[in-house]
Structure formats: C-alpha cells, structure tokens
Structure 1
Amino acid sequence: NLIKIFLSYKEGTDEYNELRQYTAVVSPEPEKPVDEPEENTGEPEPVTAPLTVDFASLQAINPDVKGWLYIEALDISYPIVQGADNDEYLHTTYEGKNNYAGSIFVDYQNSGDFSDCNTIIYGHNMKNLSMFGKLKQFKEQEKYKDSVYFWILTPEGDYRYQAFSAFYTDAVSDAYTLFSGPGETFVQYQTDMTRRSEVPLEVPAMDEDSKIVTLSTCAARDSSRRFVIQGVRV
C-alpha cells in the first residue's frame, strides 16, 4: 500500500542522508589578487575533486563499496557498490538492508576499479528523485548547461568525467557493451554513442585507451526503456 511504499522511501533516504558524515566538501582555492601575475608553466591547472570521502569507514560497513559518485549539476552524491550479480543491490542498500531504492552499483562483470573501457553504473529512477531519479533532468531540464562534469572518487584516486552523450535507449542495447580491452571496436563504439546523443554536448578527444562510464536508469512509464549519460575520463 501507499503507506508502506512511503516508509520504504523514507528509510532509504534517511540511510543515505546519514552517509554525508563520511564526506567533506573541499573549499575552492581563493582567487589570486589581480595584481599578482599567474605563473604560466604551459601545463593545465590540476583539478581537485570537490569532496573527500572516508573510504576506510565506508568499507568497514560494507567491503563492496568501490567508489563514490558525485554529479554536482544533478545533486547526486552516493557510494557505489558492486555485487556478485546485478540483482544483489537492486533492492538492497549499501548497508545491506532490504529497500526498494537499492543502491548505485557497478555491473558485476566490470572490474570494479573503473579501469575498463566501459564501466556501467546502475541506479533506480526513484519517484522521490533519490538515487538516479534526477538523471533524466540532465536532458529534460537542460541541467547539462550547469555542468557537463561528474566525479568518481575511489580509495586509489579521484577521476573526473566529461559527459559526451545522453539519450534514451532500450534495456537491451549496445550502449551496455563491455570490452575485453582497447581496440578498433571500442573506438567505433565511441563514435556510435556520440552520434546517438539527444543532448548537444561538446565531445572531448577520445581514443582506444579512453575510459568511459555509462550511467543508466529506467525511463518513467516504460519498463523496457532506459536513460543513459555517458562520460569519458578527462
């Protein structure tokens, strides 16, 4: 019934809100005075992740935690887990509690360290806009105009991605292709996915060594459709 659904939504939201204690927002560097010339080394300015994550504490709760996804333009900030299959965290929170919201999780066939050619990350399209409930706003509300970047933070390092494609597709789609390694097939895939975008995005330079992340959620009112955002590590 509706009350049971509401309570389930609230429990899931409360658990994930408590997670914020394991993150800290990084203050931006103060701007230099105008009269202080900047040193031009010819190298691009290093980009610092906008938050830090206490992975030791998170992995003490659940060793399946692989990273943290942060999409500032969509106010999405969640741990990423990986199960033995793609059903394990479909309706199980990162703390192991049964809940419809489930978790943000990496495809079980991926390596889990985001080093694959294409890493797939799933999340529910929740009606209360939690999890990946806001993902479609990237297109529908033109949130891509706010920022095309998202972050995946891991115990080993922090990775920034630039969105290059966003579109609706079928649940069974070549967007979910996994690759055994770099090669011409992967390069062709990059071209195909770029052309499929329903959002006018600038496409960064990509090659066979690029690392792509595919964020995927269900489309509303059609269980056979999905909305995906694809980003490449930059």
Structure 2
Amino acid sequence: MLRFWKRLNDLYGRLVIVVFGLVMLIGLWQVYDNYYTFSHALDDSILKYKPDPDDPSAMKDSPITDEMVAWLTIDGTNIDYPVMQGDDNTKFLNTDPFGNYSLSGSIFLDSRCSPDFSDGYSVIYGHHMEYGHMFGALDDYLNPEYLKSHSSGTLMIGRNAEKVCRLRVFASMKVSAREKTVFDIDNDGIRQYIRDNSEVMTEEEDSRILALSTCAGADSVMRTAVFCYIED
C-alpha cells in the first residue's frame, strides 16, 4: 500500500510539472502574439508606398495589392495608411495591404461602398491598436478640444491618387456595432442621427460624409465613430 501511494504521489508531481509547463507555454505564446501584432501595427515603412498625386507611376512597382482604393491621412495623428476594400468585410480584418495574413489587418472601406467614395455616406474600419496606431487614435476625438485641433486630413482616392480630397472632422460618438443607422451604408438618416447622438459636433454642411470606425474596447460591442466631411 505504501508503494502505491508513493507512485501516486510521483504521478501527481509529474502532472503538476506538465500543467505548469503548459501554462508557461500559453503565457509565452500570448506575449509573442501581442508583440507580433503590435510590432506589425507600428511598422511605418508602408509610408514609402504612399502615392504621389504628381507622379502617377509612383505606385507601378508597389507591393500593395490592387485592392487598395485610397490613402487616408489625418493630420497630427498616426493615421496615415492605405485603404483596402474586399468583396466582404472580413478579409482585411486579418490581411495586410500586401495580401499576407496579419493579426492587425488593414484599414478598409466597407465592401458595400463605392470605391471612388462617390456615395453620400461611406465607412472605413480599422483595428484599435495601442499608442494611437491603426485606428487607436479615434478615442481622442471624443475630446472636443482634440477634435478641434486635429480636424484636417486628406483622402487620396484611387491607387494612383487620381483624385485628392480634403477631409474635415466634425463629429464623434460611441455607438453600438448593431446600430443600423451608422453601419447600414444605404441610409438617408445618418445626418439626423449624427446631429442627435454625437458626443462632439462642431458644424454641419452638405458635403459627403466619411465615418471612421473602430472597437471602443476589448470584447466590446461598442464602437468609436468619427465623422468627416469629404471636400472636393
């Protein structure tokens, strides 16, 4: 009987070691996963592929795929990225602008929107990354003073920047991802919804509207939405 309990105790000790090892491996994987995601989101080398409106041939040898429809820049922030568009809204959640798998994905235009941004209302999505990268900077626009001091930007439409439009940020809010008025693109009620629900709003005009949307927090159904006027 004593031998039995000794063997059982040895087995228990080995089991504890195995479980501890698995926990350590999972922890190391999570650290690596976070580092990999964050480091790829921080990589600003993509700026060397930014199109030049004065040089249509600048993108000729660019490794960015042909699914690029624009380049989005918001002055004074880290938002300076190509805008991709897939056949649906899942592809670029985990695909980078070069067509490779990436946990940080891409900034992308809703698949239902016109790629030339001719619609009265368009939506661009991006992951919420730390330190203001990707669309992590959008949270700051819930502050009225920040919005007023970071309200300008540029939208270069087309792979070769065939058209350049100015952007003017005018409103921001937190909104449920299930809110159809904001996330159903074919919607005539967006102006009234922004007017009634914005946490910050500066002015109104009749220009086309572009929404920038990101998660408001981890595992949250809430979204931070920032609204810009597209000015030709």
What's the TM-score bracket when you normalise by the shorter of the two chains? 0.7 to 0.9
Q: What residue is the counterpart of 1:42 in the other structure?
A: none
**Correspondence for 2:225 among 211, 223, 228:** 228
Q: Percent identity among equivalent residues?
A: 28
Report how far residue 190 of structure 1 moved. Answer: 1.1
**Correspondence for 1:157 among 150, 163, 175:** 163
Q: Is residue 136 from structure 1 mapped to residue 139 from structure 2 by the alignment?
A: yes
**What is the aligned residue count?**
196
- Report the 3-state secondary structure (helix = DSSP H, G, I; strand = E; otherwise coil) of the residue aligned with 1:138: helix
- TM-score norm. by structure 1 comes to 0.75
Distance in 1 of aligned mates of 2:124 and 2:192: 21
Shift of the 193–215 alpha-carbon distance from structure 1 to 2, 3 Å rule, reads: same
- Report the 3-state secondary structure (helix = DSSP H, G, I; strand = E; otherwise coil) of the residue aligned with 1:74: coil
Task: Tell me which protein shows more helix as a share of its residues.
Answer: 2
Structure whose CA Rg is larger: 2
- The question of whether the paired residues in 2 share the 8 Å contact of 1:161 and 1:233 is answered with yes
Q: What residue is the counterpart of 1:215 in the other structure?
A: 212
Matches within 5 A, 1:47-62: 54-58=58-62, 61-62=64-65
Q: What residue is the counterpart of 2:67 in the other structure?
A: 64
Q: Hey, which bits of structure 1, 4+ residues long, moved more than 3 A?
A: 52-58
- TM-score norm. by structure 2 comes to 0.76
Deviations 1:13-52 (A, max 9, x none): 33xx111212389xxxxxxxxxxxxxxxxxxxxxxx9xx9
Name structure 1 gaps, 5 residues minimum. 26-48, 180-184
Shift of the 165–191 alpha-carbon distance from structure 1 to 2, 3 Å rule, reads: same
Name structure 2 gaps, 5 residues minimum. 1-29
Distance in 2 of aligned mates of 1:195 and 1:131: 28
Shift of the 191–8 alpha-carbon distance from structure 1 to 2, 3 Å rule, reads: closer
Q: What residue is the counterpart of 1:23 in the other structure?
A: 50
- The question of whether the paired residues in 2 share the 8 Å contact of 1:68 and 1:77 is answered with yes
Q: What residue is the counterpart of 1:41 in the other structure?
A: none
User: How large is the RMSD of aligned CA atoms in angstroms?
Assistant: 2.4
- Report the 3-state secondary structure (helix = DSSP H, G, I; strand = E; otherwise coil) of the residue aligned with 1:195: helix
